Amino acid sequence: MRTSVGIVGGGPAGLLLARLLHRAGIDSVVLESRDRSYAERRQRAGILEQATADVLREAGAGARLDREGMVHDGIELRFDGRAHRVDFPSHTEGRRVVVYAQTEVVKDLIALQLADGGPLLFGAEARAVEGADSARPLVRYTHEGRERTLACDYVVGCDGFHGIARGAVPEALRTTYERTYPYSWLGILAEAPPAYDELIYAHSPRGFALASMRSPTVSRLYLQVPNGTDAADWPDGRIWDELDARFALRAEPGRRFVRGPVTQKSVLPMRGWVTEPMRHGRLFLAGDAAHIVPPTGAKGLNLAVADVVVLARALEQWYAHGSPAALDAYSGTCLRRVWRAQHFADSMTTTLHTEPDQSPFETRLQLARLDRIASGGHAAAELAADYTGLPLTTTG
């Protein structure tokens, strides 16, 4: 098989790239190692920056998002037993976020691609990208028990953190930056109406907790837990008790979460990780294949979308005008945003979580940082701007 752009990985990055290229008249093939139902059920992110939602609309994937997505104008920070709201539109000239699960984004993009788009092959596992620095790169993959080859003008590795594409960049030419955090998240999905209208990020002496949602009847909740935690050690009752304790407000001592059946439970490690550059010859890396942020602040999915928007525009300039300038600028343009997001995610993470053996001095500093934000002014404006995201057209 031969195509213009071979896309390895059918997560949000790969699927959206295929849509954007299709709309620009550029053909592509998406290879996804998992089956469709697995790809559509994988529980991950939930918050779309305004620019991410706008791109999905532009790509034709906005109808259900606009019907079912929940627009949020702010978040709550909870610390020292008190609640403080950070408003987004008033600090950002009107920017907001949309709560719409990654599972739904993926379902919408898959349906569009299958109805009207280039090939999207499930159960197609890429084994290697060859000739990345030649004029004729190719992807070797297996599908329906057979070894196959996809010949391309360009290959894009959208195959996530565990993917194979970046293995085609010689080790001597790439630099990896990594930070691991000394705690993880226990994440649950529960058939229980969200207890609050907006997301709550809670700092507490018992550790961080986050209350999010997936719909008016489904809650998504996270608890900071030690690295190495086994989800089986957290029966449902223990989780709800811990959530009640970490979200406790001095002004409303009796308030409890509405409990409901816990339908999913998993432990997520927290890591910041970047590989540079995001291009080698005719191979480009996008999304989690090139960078991971710790989840506090919900940047991972939004960064993946920003990468493929930059790449789709650059490929358009190449195919329409033969101009390589935007392709040459791709890695630098994306990495600038990636490091700004990495900085934001790290500061949210370290301000809100409790380190093992954290000193009382450090706790007071965290509370002082949170107090600065809660007081409004520049610190609140900065958080609102970072949370709602950089405009996608921005290169600086």
User: Which residues in this chain contact ligand FAD in the complex, by CB under 6 A?
Assistant: 8-14, 31-34, 39, 44-45, 102, 125-126, 158-160, 163-164, 268, 287-288, 295, 298-301, 304
**Binding partner of residue 280 among ligand FAD, ligand DHB, none, CB cut-off 5 to 8 Å per kind:** none
Task: Please list every residue from 199 through 258 that binds ligand DHB, using CB under 6 A.
Answer: 199, 210, 212, 220
Return the H-helix or E-strand segment holding 347.
helix 325-352
Work out how close the CB of 151 gets to ligand FAD at its nearest, in angstroms, rounded to a whole number: 17
**Binding partner of residue 296 among ligand FAD, ligand DHB, none, CB cut-off 5 to 8 Å per kind:** ligand DHB
Distance CA 349, CA 345 (A): 6
Q: Please tell me whether residue 351 binds ligand DHB under the rule CB under 6 A.
A: no
Q: Please tell me whether residue 86 binds ligand DHB under the rule CB under 6 A.
A: no
**Binding partner of residue 158 among ligand DHB, ligand FAD, none, CB cut-off 5 to 8 Å per kind:** ligand FAD
Q: Active-site residue 100, yes or no? A: no
Nearer residue to ligand FAD within complex by CB, 140 or 372: 140
Work out how close the CB of 251 gets to ligand FAD at its nearest, in angstroms, rounded to a whole number: 29
- From 204, 219, 296, 333, residue interacting with ligand DHB (rule: CB under 6 A): 296
Q: Which of 299, 319, 330, 353 is catalytic?
A: 299
Residue 350 burial by Cβ neighbours in a 10 Å radius (0-12, 13-18, 19+): middle
Q: Which of 181, 201, 319, 330 is catalytic?
A: 201
Structure tokens at 342: 């990495």
Q: Please tell me whether residue 117 binds ligand DHB under the rule CB under 6 A.
A: no
Distance CA 166, CA 149 (A): 18
Q: Active-site residue 295, yes or no? A: yes
- From 69, 117, 297, 389, residue interacting with ligand DHB (rule: CB under 6 A): 297
Specify whether the CB–CB gap between 283 and 196 falls below 8 A.
no
Distance CA 386, CA 102 (A): 20
Q: Active-site residue 265, yes or no? A: no
**Which amino acid belongs to residue 62?**
G
Distance CA 62, CA 53 (A): 7
Q: Active-site residue 321, yes or no? A: no
Convert 48-70 to b/e letters by CB count within 10 Å (16 or more is b).
bbbbbbbbbeebbbbeebeeebb
Alpha-carbon distances of 172 from 177, 273, 336, rounded to whole Å: 14, 18, 22
Task: Please list every residue from 150 through 169 that binds ligand DHB, using CB under 6 A.
Answer: none
Structure tokens at 49: 């920056």
Work out how close the CB of 222 gets to ligand FAD at its nearest, in angstroms, rounded to a whole number: 8
Q: Which of 107, 295, 319, 353 is catalytic?
A: 295
Instruction: Specify the stretch interacting with ligand DHB by CB under 6 A; choose among 170-178, 289-297, 308-316, 335-343.
Output: 289-297
Largest CA distance in the chain: 67
Which residue has the CB atom at the shortest distance from ligand DHB?
46
Nearer residue to ligand DHB within complex by CB, 331 or 342: 342
Q: What are phi and psi of 313, to 5 degrees?
A: -65, -40
E strands, 136-228, are 138-143, 146-157, 175-190, 199-202, 209-215, 218-225
Q: Please tell me whether residue 298 binds ligand DHB under the rule CB under 6 A.
A: yes
Structure tokens at 118: 């280039």
Q: Active-site residue 38, yes or no? A: no
Nearer residue to ligand FAD within complex by CB, 164 or 168: 164
Question: Which residues are known to be catalytic?
Answer: 72, 201, 295, 299, 387
**Positions in the binding site for ligand DHB (CB under 6 A):** 45-47, 199, 210, 212, 220, 295-298
